[in-house]
Amino acid sequence: MFKSMALLSSVLLFSTGALAGEKTLSEGVSFFVGQFSYSSFPGDANIPFGGELEDNFNFGAIYNRDFVELGSGFFLGGEVGGAIRFGDTDPTSAELWVGTTIRHQGLDIGFINVAPRFTFGLSVVSDTIGIETERAKEAGTDASLLFYLGPEIAFSFKPLPKTEFFYRTHHRSGANGTLSNMGGGHNAHVFGVRRNF
């Protein structure tokens, strides 16, 4: 019995017949949860739970789709996402964003695939929360519209090649005053799961 289970596990984990990760054009749906940080981007905001954390959180969903294969394992696509932002002392607010994505099919390390993804676009919120509220007041703006950046690292496994687990820095920024007279906006440490199809 145990020998049979061990053999089956070995076949599932180390078989070359099924690779982890998305090697072709794909689309997917993600769900995530995150916690906001006082940290700046780049810096501690790019390290999971790095720096000082706020008592503010977000959770939401993302739809992504690849449009074209660029070669060498790279894919160009787009995403649209939405989130609820909430905390103990700040008003609950909603966020919507849309962006262009570039991803790599990833590197297979044994039965694990490690794949980077980067999103650049625009984000709009119904209200600011946390440190973003203070930064908006200092800049004399409402910071409702800012740039969105989403550097991400995703992991998938051979037994579940269509499912990815990811960490993303969820970043809103005015790009040093380029948009809405804002510098840095807000950053959240985000963890999620994506189902590709």
Tell me which of 112 and 3 has the higher pLDDT: 112
Mean pLDDT of the chain: 86
pLDDT at 92 (0 to 100): 92
- Residue 98 pLDDT exceeds 80: yes
| CA 5/CA 81 separation, integer angstroms | 41
| CA 191 to each of CA 58, 72, 82, 136, 167: distance values in angstroms, whole numbers, following the listed order | 10, 27, 15, 26, 5
- Residue 90 pLDDT exceeds 90: no
| 73 confidence band (pLDDT: 50, 70, 90) | very high
Domains of the chain, each with CATH number or no CATH? 28-196 (2.40.160.20)
Tell me which of 118 and 142 has the higher pLDDT: 118
pLDDT at 49 (0 to 100): 67
pLDDT at 47 (0 to 100): 65
- Residue 4 pLDDT exceeds 80: no
Range with the poorest average pLDDT among 41-45, 88-92, 164-168: 41-45
| Pairing between β-strand 152-157 and β-strand 145-149 as defined by DSSP bridges | unpaired
